[in-house]
Structures are given as C-alpha cells and as structure tokens.
Structure 1
Amino acid sequence: MIEAVNVFKSFEDKEVLKDISAVFEKGQTNLIIGQSGSGKTVLLKSLVGLHEVTKGEILFDGRSLVGLNSKQKKALRQEIGMLFQGSALFDSMTVEENVRFPLDMFTHMTEEEKRDRANFCLDRVRLENANNRLPSEISGGMQKRVAIARAIALNPKYLFCDEPNSGLDPRTSIVIDELIHEITEEYGMTTIVNTHDMNSVMGIGDKIIFIYQGEKYWEGTKDDIFHVQNKQLEDFIFASKMFRQIKEVHK
C-alpha cells in the first residue's frame, strides 16, 4: 500500500499539487487521471520519489519516503518497478539484456539465474523467442511488453506506469492494460498508472483518482464513474462522442 498524506508540490513560486491525500491499495490497479497540465504526472513522480514533495508525506507500507536515508532509499528502489511512457529500452541491448539490466545492477545472481529470471519474465508477458532481437526489430507493443518484463524482473512490491498505452493502437492497448492488471493481481503488487485513456479507466480501473488543477477532485471505481456528480470530471470523461453515448446507456 502507498499513501499520499496532505501532499503539496511547488516549483519556485508555482504550486502544482495542493493538499492531495490518497490511498493506493495492494493488489489493485490504481489509476491517476486528468487533463494535460493537471498535475497527474507530477503526482506520479512525487509518489515514486523522482520529485521531493514541498510538504506532506509519501508512505510505502508505513515507511515515510521523506524520512529515509540514502541506504534505505536504495533498498526501497529495489522494491519498485517502473514502466516509462516511451518504454525507455536500451537500443544497443537485446531484449534479454534489457530485462536483465536491473538484475545486473541490483543483484548478485549467477549468470544462469539471471538468464532464467529474464526468460521467466519474458514468458510471463508472452514474449517467447524474442531474447536476441533488438528493440528496433520489434513492434511498439512488443517493446512495451519487454519494458513490463524488465519492470517486474526484481519481483517488485510496487509498480508505477506512466502512460503505458502512449503510441499504441486500441487493440494493443487492451493487451497491455490486461497484462498490467493480471500481473498486479497475480503478484499482489501496489500498481499506480498515470493515464488519460478512458478505455484503460473502464477496463482496469479498480480505483481512480481524478486530478484537476493540482487538486484531487474525485476518487472512486470504474463502476462509480458513470454516476458521478462532478462537472470537471464529466467534462473530462465525456469529451468523446463514444463515451457520451455510453453515458446515455447507463442512465
């Protein structure tokens, strides 16, 4: 479980996050949604420790991120998996080498153990027989699955995903969403996904936090979202014709 407690974040004189409190539960896919510039990316980066909060606390199963020393922060980072927006694979490394990278960095496994773990993770994301290919030789969807395999290589307790469907076609996006959801439940991870994709919200939104102008304006589940009485959230959700039609069905 990850908790944000009265979190503020400012850059110079600009306040980007304003008194945000939220609980992200273990074994659930927790989504942060909001328009561009709403503060959702700053919130995600603050939760993962890439931004130091101006005021407030971030707790990882009761451990305050603010109070950790450098050794404790390093230990915590080994419990965190990160899926970046653009996959962030190393172009000069093979698929297997990309997945093995955190194992090389943070473990004392033997070469055989690292190879076995990389193969296990690649099998889990349904990417058999791609070990020796370079990122440039596989599709965007396959690259995203390699990035997921790398993110789970250290068997993390916490998984952060920044716009995981960016640049993917709708069918591949569904595959990636379902994979993230399956892995979250299977390994009992605390997963936080930053997204503006309403298909993801309706597909895997166990819990949803809506950020508007740096504040938490709503939270609930995908089942609650069609009954919400919140103009800013309604404007965000029903911006597309398709979701306006879905809303009519749910009335």
Structure 2
Amino acid sequence: MIELKNIRKSFGDKEILKDVSANMEPGKTNLIIGASGSGKTVLMKCMVGLMKVDSGTVLYNGQDFTAMDDHEKKPIRQEIGMLFQGSALFDSMTVEQNIMFPLDMFSSMSYRERRKRMQECLDRVELKDANKKFPAEISGGMKKRVGIARAIVLNPKYLFVDEPNSGLDPQTSLIIDKLIKDITVEYNITTVVNTHDMNTVMESGDHIIYMHQGKKQWEGSNEDIIFSEDKLLNDFIFASEFFQDIKEMRKLEMFRDKNWRAKQAGGGNK
C-alpha cells in the first residue's frame, strides 16, 4: 500500500497540493482524476519522488519515502514501474532492447535469463513478431504495450501510469485499460493511474481520487460515483447530457443486479 498523509506542495506563492491524504490500495487500479491544474500530475510526481513535498509524508508499505535520501530510496525505486504518457521508448533501440533496458541496468540475471524474462513480458502484453522492430515501425497502441512490458519486467510492486490512453483510438484504449487492470490483479500490484478518460474511470476505477483545485474533493469506487451527490464531481464526470443519461442507465442496471443488491444489504459498499 502507498499512503499519503497531509501532502502539501507549492511553487512560489501558488499552492498546488493542499493537505492531501489518501491510500493507494494493492491489487487495485487506483485512479487520480481531475481537470487540468487540479494537482493530479504534481501529486503523482511527489509519490514517485520526482518532486519533493513541502510537508507531509509518502509511505511505501509503512516506510517513509519522503524522509529518505537518494541512496535509501533506491530499493523502493527498483520496485516501481512507470508507463509514461508518450511511452518514452528509446528510438534507437528495438522493442526487445527497450524492454531489456531495466534488466541490463538493475538485474543480476544472466543474458539468457534476461532474454527469457523479456519474452515473457512481450507475450504477456500479447505482442508477437515485434522483437526486432524499432518504435517508429509500430503503432501507438503497440508502443503502449511495449511500455507496459518494460514497466513490469522487473516484477514491480508499484506501477505508475500517466494518461495511458493519450493519443489512442477508443478501441485500443479499451484494450490498454483491460491489460493494465488484468496485470494489476494478476500480480497484486499497487497501480496508480493519472487519467482524464471517462471510460477508464467507469470501467477500471476500483479506487478513485478526484482532485479539485489542489484538494482531494472525493474518494470512492466507480460504483460509488454513480450514486454520488457531490456536485463538483458530477459536473466533472457527467458534464454532458449523454453522460448524464449513461449514469441513469448504469443506476438502473445496478438496481437490477441481484449480486449488487445483496452486496448493499450485506454492507459491502461504502
């Protein structure tokens, strides 16, 4: 688990994060959502140590990450995988070289073992016959898959994903969302996704944090969103009549779902 306690961050006179506390839960897809300028990107950067907090603590499995020096942070950073918005692949390296890069840097495996692990990750993201291709020779969706394979090649405990669907068509976005969610559950990873994609919110949002003007405005699951009466959240998620209609349809579907009603009766939902 990743715990955030009273995180504050300012740039000059502008306060970006205002006393943010939250937990990122293992085995779940934890989403950080919010409008541009809400603080979600800064929050993620503070979590991975790319920015230092002004005050507050970030704990990885109970260890105070914010109080560590660079040497002390290294073991935790080696347990972190990162999928960047633009995939951030090395243009001069082939697909397999990109995936093997973290292994070459940090692993004590033999070359044969590294190649085997690389191929396992390629197979897991369902990429075939792409080993020798360069990033310029593959599609945007394939680049995301390569990025995911590289992010998980060291068997991370924590996976950070920045705007996974940026620049992708709707069908490919669904595939990437499902892949991230499946890997999260399969390997019991604490996955944190920074997104503005509403399909990701509704389909993959096991645990969602909605940021508004630097504060944690709302927290819950994608089921909780359907019944939330938070005006700021509803104005953000269901801004159009189309999404308002979807919300009402989803409510009806959930009321008709016997398993969901039994869950409510047993106190399984917040």
Q: When the two structures are superposed, what TM-score results if normalisation uses the length of structure 2?
A: 0.91
Q: Counterpart in 1 of 2:63? A: 63
Q: Counterpart in 1 of 2:256? A: none
- Corresponding residue SS for 1:141: helix
- Corresponding residue SS for 2:173: helix
Q: Counterpart in 1 of 2:20? A: 20
What is the CA–CA distance in structure 2 between the aligned matches of 1:140 and 1:240, rounded to whole Å?
28
What is the CA–CA distance in structure 1 between the aligned matches of 2:5 and 2:133, rounded to whole Å?
44
- Corresponding residue SS for 2:222: coil
Which letter does structure 2 place at the counterpart of 1:36?
S
Q: Counterpart in 2 of 1:238? A: 238
Superposed displacement of residue 75, structure 1: 1.3
- Corresponding residue SS for 1:160: strand
Q: Counterpart in 1 of 2:84? A: 84
Q: Counterpart in 2 of 1:44? A: 44
Structure with the bigger percentage of helix: 2
What is the CA–CA distance in structure 1 between the aligned matches of 2:19 and 2:4, rounded to whole Å?
9
CA offset digits 1:82-113 (Å, max 9, x no partner) = 00000000111000000001111111221111
Counterparts in 2 of 1:64-143, with a 5 A limit? 64-143=64-143
Q: Structure 1: state its 5+ residue gaps.
A: none
Counterparts in 2 of 1:206-217, with a 5 A limit? 206-217=206-217
What is the CA–CA distance in structure 2 between the aligned matches of 1:241 and 1:83, rounded to whole Å?
33
Which letter does structure 2 place at the counterpart of 1:75?
P
Superposed displacement of residue 226, structure 1: 1.3
Work out the number of aligned pairs and report it: 251
- Corresponding residue SS for 1:176: helix
CA offset digits 1:180-209 (Å, max 9, x no partner) = 000000001100000010100111100000
What is the CA–CA distance in structure 1 between the aligned matches of 2:242 and 2:172, rounded to whole Å?
19
What is the CA–CA distance in structure 2 between the aligned matches of 1:136 and 1:245, rounded to whole Å?
41
Counterparts in 2 of 1:117-196, with a 5 A limit? 117-196=117-196
Which letter does structure 2 place at the counterpart of 1:17?
L
What is the CA–CA distance in structure 2 between the aligned matches of 1:247 and 1:122, rounded to whole Å?
37
Which letter does structure 2 place at the counterpart of 1:3?
E
Highest CA radius of gyration, 1 or 2?
2
- Corresponding residue SS for 1:114: helix
Superposed displacement of residue 244, structure 1: 1.5
Superposed displacement of residue 68, structure 1: 1.6
- Corresponding residue SS for 1:20: strand
- Corresponding residue SS for 1:82: strand
Superposed displacement of residue 240, structure 1: 3.2
Q: When the two structures are superposed, what TM-score results if normalisation uses the length of structure 1?
A: 0.98
Q: Structure 2: state its 5+ residue gaps.
A: 253-270
Superposed displacement of residue 237, structure 1: 0.5
Superposed displacement of residue 239, structure 1: 1.9
Counterparts in 2 of 1:191-230, with a 5 A limit? 191-230=191-230
- Corresponding residue SS for 2:223: coil
Superposed displacement of residue 157, structure 1: 0.3
Task: Find out whether 1:6 has 2:6 as its counterpart.
Answer: yes
